[in-house]
């Protein structure tokens, strides 16, 4: 799923997609049997003299299939969009970057001329250090001034999934084959999703969500989560309705639920939902439309190697699966990043609600795609315009929502979720401040900046109260100014307290006073001010222009001081 880097007031968000499975590499062809005298042995292949492809070659084949649709001047998925000039980066962290159709590849890239090829486009590879060093970053970014779509290699996504499964405590359970395989249709959809982000960035760069607004979103609100479940059911009914009148009736029901649910939210929360539905929801909608467009086409020969690929003759099952996944996300029945109480489920349900509302608009208003790119226009606005409900119709739909037995059911379910979430959050905060390893405490009051600028994923946020927020899921990187870089080398939940002006996270192990002295190259922990300190501790690397430091039995406290 798609994510893109988003700048917010004092935080930089680097969004990571939820873990996915993986597709296996094509099987090797067995040598001819010597017992079969009628079949001569194959000639040995000529040695390869050029660069070796180290990413999953099926990703190139799948991307080529997508490019056959989205690179047309008259793209059938979205009017005015063609990805013909959009380069593609496929990366395996720390192993290889593969850059396709970039006009000026960065230094270190060399031309790849082997198979599989990417018809009509130049392919370049670079071994070693990669543009992105984190797993599972399916996104878009600038490379040498050119906006590119970025897709993580199959192994990268598989490692993310495996680590997530282990973290969930399920490592001792048998792993089903369906858990290990990523559908080739999902892989193609992912490429289209990220390519569309490049188009959105060009046409409507300011319409995405401000991730900072998540700090005020009530992710465990009972009524809000119950309302989302009812919205999902209404959207599913609208998308499966057989007549226009049935579509309108289900759409009115959805609108009534949404109007009631959003009446309970602060305006900035509604703004956040609209932003994610525009950016990620429409990209997910493009996935849906890609499947519709591929149906009936002839696949390329390389796709026969893809595990689970059954051609394009009938993709109704894939579309049914997308709609069913939408309903399950809206109900909160999908495990997203093993984080049922944080922002991850909220974000993903907005991916799917945006997708479903886009499909609904296809049934209501053929011209909606031009309007949605305009500032100040949301998907909800366009449904209201297309339905043009009377006040009585809307009031009746809201009344029906409040009286429905389904609402009572979901309120009960979501009340338990809220209770469990509050208890889990209390345990999390305690584990950060008083865990088995040493805590690293960063005091930043002297910097007078309110909060630490950092990179984080909006899938990993837990709001404790108005002053305290936990950031997790990926290694956090803190950049409080020139000469300061604090980089976790392994993910560890970080608790930022804007009131106390400190940030705390657990190191990977307990650090005794003697070990800290050894890391500092000192015979004792210095009490004086330190400058230009480079320090590596278990789980974090620090470069500090100016600071003071002290050791305590359970924590190491570093006070960040202005560089000058």
Buried b (16+ CB within 10 A) or exposed e, 238-250: bbebeeeeebbbb
Pairing label, strands 88-92, 146-152 = parallel
Terminal C-alpha separation, the chain: 42
Q: Please give the DSSP secondary-structure letter assigned to residue 404.
A: -
Q: Tally Cβ neighbours within 10 Å of residue 340.
A: 16
| pTM summary value | 0.87
Q: pLDDT at residue 66 above 70? A: yes
**pLDDT number for residue 168:** 63
Average pLDDT over residues 146-157: 92
User: Is pLDDT of 553 > 80?
Assistant: yes
How large a percentage of the chain has pLDDT more than 90? Answer: 78
Break the chain into its structural domains and give their ranges. 6-21+56-168+180-203, 211-419, 434-560
**Among the listed residues 183, 172, 136, the one whose alpha carbon sits nearest the alpha carbon of residue 156:** 136
Does pLDDT of 306 surpass 80?
yes
Identify the pLDDT of residue 1.
37
Least confident of 157-166, 245-254, 521-530: 157-166
Residue 27, pLDDT > 60, answer no
Percentage with pLDDT > 70 across the chain: 90
Split at pLDDT 50, 70, 90, the class of 158 is confident
Mean pLDDT of 430-440: 97
pLDDT of residue 173: 66
Q: Tell me, what's the pLDDT at 8?
A: 31
As a whole number, mean pLDDT of residues 473-500 equals 95
pLDDT tens figures, 68-83 = 999 988 789 999 999 9
Q: What is the pLDDT of residue 532?
A: 96
H/E stretch holding 408 reads: helix 405-433
17 vs 191: CA distance, rounded Å:
13
């Amino acid at each position: 799923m798609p994510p893109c880097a988003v700048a917010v007031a004092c935080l930089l968000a680097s969004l990571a997609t939820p873990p996915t499975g993986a597709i296996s590499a094509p099987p090797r062809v067995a040598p001819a049997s010597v017992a079969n005298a009628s079949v001569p042995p194959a000639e040995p292949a000529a040695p390869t003299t050029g660069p070796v492809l180290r990413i999953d070659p099926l990703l190139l084949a799948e991307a080529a299939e997508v490019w056959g649709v989205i690179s047309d001047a008259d793209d059938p998925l979205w009017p005015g969009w063609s990805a013909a000039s959009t380069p593609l980066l496929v990366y395996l962290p720390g192993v290889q970057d593969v850059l396709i159709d970039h006009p000026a590849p960065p230094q270190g890239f060399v031309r790849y001329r082997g198979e599989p090829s990417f018809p009509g486009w130049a392919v370049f590879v670079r071994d070693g250090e990669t543009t992105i060093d984190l797993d599972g970053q399916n996104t878009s970014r600038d490379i040498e001034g050119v906006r590119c779509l970025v897709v993580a290699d199959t192994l990268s996504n598989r490692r993310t999934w495996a680590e997530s499964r282990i973290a969930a405590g399920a490592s001792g359970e048998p792993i089903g084959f369906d858990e290990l395989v990523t559908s080739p249709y999902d892989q193609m959809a992912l490429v289209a999703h990220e390519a569309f982000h490049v188009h959105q960035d060009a046409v409507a760069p300011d319409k995405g969500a401000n991730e900072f607004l998540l700090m005020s979103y009530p992710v465990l609100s009972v009524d809000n989560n119950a309302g989302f479940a009812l919205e999902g059911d209404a959207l599913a009914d609208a998308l499966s309705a057989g007549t226009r009148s049935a579509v309108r009736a289900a759409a009115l029901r959805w609108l009534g639920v949404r109007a009631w649910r959003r009446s309970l939210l602060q305006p900035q929360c509604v703004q956040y939902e609209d932003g994610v539905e525009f950016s990620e929801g429409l990209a997910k909608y493009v996935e849906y439309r890609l499947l519709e467009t591929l149906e009936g086409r002839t696949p390329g020969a390389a796709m026969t190697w893809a595990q689970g690929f059954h051609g394009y003759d009938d993709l109704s099952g894939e579309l049914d699966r997308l709609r069913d996944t939408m309903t399950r996300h809206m109900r909160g029945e999908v495990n997203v990043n093993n984080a049922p109480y944080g922002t991850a489920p909220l974000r993903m349900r907005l991916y799917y609600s945006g997708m479903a509302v886009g499909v609904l608009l296809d049934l209501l208003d053929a011209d909606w795609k031009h309007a949605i790119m305009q500032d100040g226009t949301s998907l909800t606005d366009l449904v209201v315009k297309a339905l043009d409900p009377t006040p009585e119709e809307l009031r009746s739909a809201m009344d029906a929502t409040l009286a429905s037995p389904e609402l009572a059911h979901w309120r009960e379910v979501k009340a338990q979720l809220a209770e469990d979430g509050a208890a889990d959050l209390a345990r999390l905060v305690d584990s950060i401040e008083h865990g088995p390893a040493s805590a690293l405490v960063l005091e930043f009051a002297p910097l007078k900046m309110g909060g630490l600028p950092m990179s984080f994923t909006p899938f990993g946020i837990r709001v404790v109260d108005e002053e305290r927020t936990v950031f997790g899921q990926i290694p956090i990187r803190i950049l409080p100014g020139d000469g300061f870089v604090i980089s976790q080398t392994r993910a560890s939940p970080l608790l930022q307290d804007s009131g106390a002006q400190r940030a705390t996270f657990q190191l990977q192990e307990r650090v005794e006073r003697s070990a800290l002295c050894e890391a500092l190259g000192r015979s004792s922990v210095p009490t004086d001010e330190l400058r230009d300190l480079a320090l590596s501790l278990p789980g974090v690397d620090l470069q500090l222009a100016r600071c003071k430091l002290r050791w305590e039995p359970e924590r190491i406290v570093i006070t960040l001081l202005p560089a000058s």
